[in-house]
Amino acid sequence: MSEALSRLSLRILSALLSLAILIQFFIAGMATMTNPEWWTYHSAWIGIFQWLVVPLPILAFLGSRPRYWRTAFATIPVVQVALQYVLAHRALEGRLTIGIGLHAVNGALLLIIATFLATGCADRKMSA
C-alpha cells in the first residue's frame, strides 16, 4: 500500500469513527432522556464501529513521515475503546461509581482524537 493511500485511508476511517461516535452520543442521549430501550442500540452500535480503531495504528505507521506522532495518536483510540469497556462494566458492577461519568468523558476525548486524525493534524511536523 502506498504512503499516500495509507494516509488517505487513515483519514477516511477516522472520519467514519468520528461520525460513529456522534451517532453513539445520540443513542446514549436517547436512552438516558427518553427511552431506556435505546440502551440495546447503544450496546449493539459499539459492537459494529469499535473495529474501526484496529487498523488506525497500522495505517498511520504505513504513511510517510512523521510516523512517530501519527502512529502514537492513532494508537490512542484503541486504548480508549478498551477503557470504555472497563469504565462501563466496573460502574455497572458497582465497583467504580464514577465509571459512567468517566465513560462519557472518555467518549468525548475519543471523538476529539478521531477528529484530529481525520483532519490530518497528526501529519504535521511537531517542532521541538
Phi and psi (nearest 5°) for 59? -65, -35
d(CA 80, CA 5): 25
Provide the b/e sequence for 69-93 (b: ≥16 CB within 10 Å): bbbebbbbbeebbeebeebbebbee
d(CA 47, CA 117): 22
Residue 99 has pLDDT above 80, yes or no: yes
Average pLDDT of every residue of the chain = 90
Q: Is the overall model pTM greater than 0.85, yes or no?
A: yes
d(CA 104, CA 91): 12
Predicted local confidence at residue 64, as pLDDT = 74
Predicted local confidence at residue 63, as pLDDT = 84
For 42-98, the pLDDT digits (tens) are 999 999 999 999 999 999 999 877 677 889 889 999 999 999 999 999 998 999 989
Which of 106, 120, 18, 108 lies closest to 59, judged by CA? 120
For 1-55, the pLDDT digits (tens) are 688 899 899 999 999 999 999 999 999 999 989 999 999 999 999 999 999 999 9
* Domain residue limits, the chain: 3-123
